[in-house]
């Protein structure tokens, strides 16, 4: 398949850092909350360490810094603080809402976050109506990106061959960029064996779609 002449059958968006600027808010919550456990972690450090990684990895890291097991209520209270800050501060990524409103290709959302956080972020930023019924969480399959299982699940639920999807946004475990746009077939290939052809932000994807008249 030639990427320059064939549009993908489905665009799969990430959420955090692609559609909404939630990573910065989450980093602030981490910094504020762990201070109560004697862990010194600035928002900047939290953003650098925790961007794009699973909650399990983050909790293990904080537990190591804390030097002892975290209480059972730790994650619940942390998520509650995150939710309050997201309600107060969250903004969409510049250009995301306009791009989604004008995108003339089928699209869905696949995120490592749980459904309640995804829906909160989309509701606060006005994006939820565009993704209703097309939101997929790693918690649905108990497999977290960069494992391709979530994208394959989303594609199957949308009735599309995973080999004909394009992925917008996302990062590998540890925060390394996974590439904003993956050409058709990315879901079944090893990382690094599928070319990135757009940047990791909505303007980059918009330019890519416009250049190929996939709007």
Write the pLDDT tens digit of every residue in 30-70. 999 999 999 999 999 999 999 878 899 999 999 999 999 99
Predicted local distance difference test score (pLDDT) of residue 167: 67
Q: Where in the chain is the domain with CATH 3.40.50.1000?
A: 10-21+91-211
**Multiple choice CATH, 10-21+91-211, 3.90.950.10, 1.10.645.10, 3.40.50.1000, 3.30.70.20:** 3.40.50.1000
Q: Where in the chain is the domain with CATH 1.10.150.240?
A: 22-89
Q: Taking residues 89-110, what's their average pLDDT?
A: 90
> What is the chain's length?
215
Residues noted as catalytic:
14
Q: Residue 137 forms beta bridges with which residues?
A: 111
Nearest to 126 by CA among 81, 168, 90: 90
Q: Which residues contact 192 (CB under 8 A, 6 or more apart)?
A: none
The more confident residue out of 197 and 164 is 164
CATH number of 22-89: 1.10.150.240
- Read off φ and ψ for residue 68, nearest 5 degrees: -160, 170
Q: Which residues contact 75 (CB under 8 A, 6 or more apart)?
A: 55, 59
Predicted local distance difference test score (pLDDT) of residue 105: 84
Write the pLDDT tens digit of every residue in 189-212. 333 333 222 223 455 555 555 554
Write the pLDDT tens digit of every residue in 113-135. 999 999 999 999 999 999 999 99
pLDDT at residue 182 above 50? no
């Amino acid at each position: 398949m030639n990427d320059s002449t064939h549009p993908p059958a489905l665009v799969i968006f990430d959420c955090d850092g692609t559609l909404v600027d939630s990573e910065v808010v989450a980093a602030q919550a981490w910094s504020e909350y762990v201070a109560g456990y004697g862990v010194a972690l600035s928002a900047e450090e939290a953003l650098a360490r925790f961007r794009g990684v699973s909650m399990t990895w983050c909790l293990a890291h904080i537990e190591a810094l804390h030097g002892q097991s975290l209480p059972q209520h730790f994650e619940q209270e942390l998520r509650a603080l995150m939710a309050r800050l997201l309600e107060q501060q969250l903004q969409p990524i510049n250009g995301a809402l306009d791009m989604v409103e004008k995108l003339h290709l089928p699209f869905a959302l696949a995120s490592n976050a749980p459904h309640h956080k995804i829906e909160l972020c989309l509701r606060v930023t006005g994006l939820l109506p565009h993704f209703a019924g097309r939101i997929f969480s790693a918690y649905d399959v108990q497999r977290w990106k960069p494992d391709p299982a979530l994208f394959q699940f989303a594609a199957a639920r949308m009735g599309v061959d995973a080999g004909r999807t394009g992925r917008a946004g996302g990062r590998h475990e540890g925060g390394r960029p996974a590439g904003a746009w993956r050409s058709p077939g990315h879901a079944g290939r090893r990382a690094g064996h599928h070319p990135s052809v757009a940047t990791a932000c909505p303007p980059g994807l918009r330019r890519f779609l416009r250049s190929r008249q996939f709007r």
